[in-house]
Amino acid sequence: MIRITRIGHVTLSTPDPERQVAHYAGLLGLSIAAREGDTIWMACPDDHRSIALRHGEAAGCTALSLQVPAGTELRDFARQLSRQGVAAEAQSDAAPDTPQRLLLATPDGLRIEVEAERPAGRAAGEGPIIPRKLGHAAFRVTDPERTVAFFTEALGFRVSDWMGDFFAFLRCGPDHHTVNFIRSPAARLHHIAFELRDWDHVKEACDALGAQRIPLIWGPGRHTVGHNLYTYHHDPDGQIVELFAELDRMSDEAGGAWDQRPWHQETPLRPRRWEMDPFLSNAWGIGTPQGFRDA
Ligand SMILES: [Fe+2]
């Protein structure tokens, strides 16, 4: 089976691209990789592309790109999808440095762009934070079970954890999650998340955000599901941005356990469905802010 192995980038529609550039390049420190038409491509050092900003009337996520290993024949992947009843359209030269890609849609209609993995750009922007990479994208979906079935059966993702029956975390590589899906009446982006180096980097990011008078909306804290350190803030369009470090990893997929960490509840720790608990959202006990999950 051909599987998705990496998250590519998210495409964000924005009424004011330059205001978003000021945030993502000037503060977060992504580099500007390309400008073409109404689209600005930006990257963290460990990514080829991390986000694409596209001018549009409303702010939102219009596409998620996912990657298959370099050298994969996209035609073969399209045939595999077709056998599972998933339609995929091939596109040529639709984006800079992207000779081929496949377009498909999730059950809720989110556009997925499948492309081959490409080398990281290794360029850093000028802002003070400079995350390593885009880590994951979290979406509000109307039916998490149906979305999980699509991502596992058609795209080769594995289920890492469930929070109760309303929040699913899926991986396509060693990282605990590259997509996650929370049950909601309306489908749309919940947040995008960038990986920082470590706890000191989280602290430096909080200082940089505070210096720009951008308030944190939650954190710093440590999630129990995935065990990542986190902060959340809004970008200028009101999209939620997470900065995280120390996310669980599964280096040995066949072994089926998370790499051992001192803060784990048990050893070995394996994927599971977590029961609701006051310390589940935040292992340090400060719970989810009012309205955050519905944001
Ligand atoms: Fe997240």
pLDDT value of position 157: 98
Q: Do the two domains 6-116 and 133-251 of this chain adopt the same fold? A: yes
Q: What is the domain partition of the chain in residue ranges?
A: 6-116, 133-251
pLDDT value of position 223: 98
Q: What spacing in Å lies between the alpha carbon of 258 and ligand 1's midpoint? A: 18
The token pair that represents 195 in the structure block: 């990986």
Q: What spacing in Å lies between the alpha carbon of 183 and ligand 1's midpoint? A: 15
Residue 96 reports pLDDT greater than 90: no
pLDDT value of position 124: 83
Residue 78 reports pLDDT greater than 90: yes
Q: What spacing in Å lies between the alpha carbon of 99 and ligand 1's midpoint? A: 31
Whether pTM > 0.75 for this model: the answer is yes
- The average confidence (pLDDT) of the chain is 96
Dist. CA 62–CA 187, nearest whole Å = 11
Q: Which residues surround ligand 1, an ion (CB under 5 A)?
A: 138, 193, 242
The pLDDT tens digits of the residues spanning 226-254 come to 999 999 999 999 999 999 999 999 999 99
pLDDT value of position 99: 87
Give the helix ranges, DSSP H, for the chain: 17-21, 74-83, 144-153, 199-211
Q: What is the mean pLDDT of residues 42-53?
A: 97
Q: What spacing in Å lies between the alpha carbon of 287 and ligand 1's midpoint? A: 15
Dist. CA 137–CA 194, nearest whole Å = 9
CATH superfamily of 6-116: 2,3-Dihydroxybiphenyl 1,2-Dioxygenase, domain 1 (3.10.180.10)
What's the CATH number of domain 133-251, 3.90.700.10, 3.10.180.10, 3.40.190.10, 3.40.50.300? 3.10.180.10
Dist. CA 73–CA 115, nearest whole Å = 10
